[in-house]
Structure 1
Amino acid sequence: MELRIVQSTAIPAKAADSVAVPSTDAGAAPHSQHAAITPPEAAALVPDEDFSDLEETRFWEDEGEDVEGRIVVRIVGKYLPAHVFPSDHVERYIHHKLHELFSLAGADRHVSILYIHTECEALNDNPLALLSFRTIFHGLAPNLRLRVGAVYILHPSLTLRLGLWLLSPWLSDSIYSRVAFMSRVEFLADHIPLDEVDLPAFCLEHDRKLEAHPLLDYGFQLDRAAATQHLPLGL
């Protein structure tokens, strides 16, 4: 199996503990009941906001399929430093891209979201805060929400795990039940064939660090190299 690895995208100057994921959505309506977004509706969803800064980062890619045949949306948190991209700007862009994807894919297609949290905790500079997860999913129409089959989180930190658990009372059960934490790339491969998604090179490097320093998994040890990567010179 060919593993596709991409180098980290530069940020523009501006601007296994895997949780089982059901193959079908519990309580979801049959595909025939899913209302497709018509072209006029899709056009109305395109905002006037300029998203060219986010397009340049390539944090979002939607290609390939998981083992259930769902379209994979890959989101790289490290490409979204908060001092460059406000969280509400990122949330609106993700909403725009999801609606666009659902419109083009057709009413019978589902998606899976792969959120790569690798090194975000050490950087402490990522706009996709915990509340962003709730805002993004609850901002979708109910029929579109049902078409998100799974949310895979690669290299989740202890803070992210606990935060999502604490936030779960304010998330719908159907959404929270679809979250699957992947502490290693090899566990992710059980759900998404690795030749179906572009993983940044630092994901595999982080896996090697975890093998050498297991406490990084639980937040008890700081990845100093990642934490100082974007500090100003002289600090």
Structure 2
Amino acid sequence: MTLCASMEQYHSLEKLHIFKIKGRDKGGRLILTILAKFFPAHTVSVETVTKYLQDNIYPRLEKEGPFSVLYVHTHVQRAQNFPGISSLRCIYDHMPSSVKNNLQSIYFVHPDLHSRLLLATVGRLFFSGGWYAKVKYVSRVDYLWEHVRRNETELPEYVYDHDQDLEYCPMMDYGLESDHPRVYGAPSIDSPVATYSMRCIS
């Protein structure tokens, strides 16, 4: 990779605001929020991500001490914005030991069936230090406030929208229903979208 291409990838990460350190959990620990929807898995190299974290995230986490991760899995698609378990392992391996030791909890918002199975199987083998035991699955945003301070935590609107979709189509939690336009009113009988929405509601 050329230096120019590497710099372009680096700046794209800065603009996307995927990683943000803000707020604290109920234990008073600093929170690193990761908005996985915006992760450019196919356009940014693992080396660039590692460099970005080393420059912008790890120094503050090392300074602050114990911290938690708020990982927002909403709208992550395996073929679009999921980097793959091997890439995640590579990023993890380059994480400073002090940061690994300071990680207390991982609040995993909107997990789907694939992510649960992946972490429960491959994740247990790939990550050390009791990492898997620190994962706390959070299926709804309302449950998140049991763990983090609500008035210090910012979530994008699409996270709340997806939460509402899940309330009407709970099987989406398991990947058995696709995302669909949220049509909750009385539908016309010949509308395919409305029929699909009613099937979810029933």
Could you list the runs of 5+ residues in structure 1 that have no partner in the other structure?
1-14, 16-47, 226-235
Residue number in structure 2 paired with 1:60: 19
> Tell me, what secondary structure is at the counterpart of 2:114?
helix
Task: Work out whether residues 74 and 114 of structure 1, in 8 Å CA contact, stay in contact via their aligned partners in 2.
Answer: yes
- How many angstroms apart in 2 are the aligned matches of 1:139 and 1:83? 20
Letter in structure 2 aligned against 1:181: Y
Structure with the largest fraction of helix: 2
Residue number in structure 2 paired with 1:216: 172
The question of 1:145 aligning with 2:100 is answered yes
Measured after TM superposition, the shift of residue 138 of structure 1 is: 2.8
Measured after TM superposition, the shift of residue 198 of structure 1 is: 1.2
Could you list the runs of 5+ residues in structure 2 that have no partner in the other structure?
182-202
Larger relative contact order (C-alpha < 8 A, sep ≥ 6)?
A: 1
- Which deviations, in whole Å up to 9, do the C-alpha atoms of 1:129-179 show, x marking residues without a partner? 233333333322333211011111111111111111112122214211111
- How many angstroms apart in 1 are the aligned matches of 2:41 and 2:99? 28
Residue among 52, 76, 79 paired with 2:38: 79
> Tell me, what secondary structure is at the counterpart of 2:108?
strand
TM-score, normalised by the number of residues in structure 1: 0.67
Distance 1:132 1:192, change over 3 A: farther
Q: CA RMSD in A?
A: 2.4
Task: Work out whether residues 36 and 76 of structure 2, in 8 Å CA contact, stay in contact via their aligned partners in 1.
Answer: yes
Residue number in structure 1 paired with 2:75: 119
- How many angstroms apart in 1 are the aligned matches of 2:117 and 2:33? 23
Task: Work out whether residues 91 and 132 of structure 1, in 8 Å CA contact, stay in contact via their aligned partners in 2.
Answer: no
Task: Work out whether residues 87 and 129 of structure 1, in 8 Å CA contact, stay in contact via their aligned partners in 2.
Answer: no
Aligned length: 176
Residue number in structure 2 paired with 1:187: 143
- Which deviations, in whole Å up to 9, do the C-alpha atoms of 1:163-205 show, x marking residues without a partner? 1111212221421111111111011111112221210100110
TM-score, normalised by the number of residues in structure 2: 0.77
- Following superposition of structure 1 onto structure 2, how do residues 3-82 of structure 1 map, counting pairs within 5 Å? 51-82=10-41
Distance 1:195 1:174, change over 3 A: same
% of aligned pairs identical? Answer: 29
Residue among 53, 56, 73 paired with 1:94: 53
Distance 1:191 1:90, change over 3 A: same
Measured after TM superposition, the shift of residue 219 of structure 1 is: 0.7
Task: Work out whether residues 46 and 91 of structure 2, in 8 Å CA contact, stay in contact via their aligned partners in 1.
Answer: no
Measured after TM superposition, the shift of residue 61 of structure 1 is: 0.9
- How many angstroms apart in 2 are the aligned matches of 1:157 and 1:90? 24
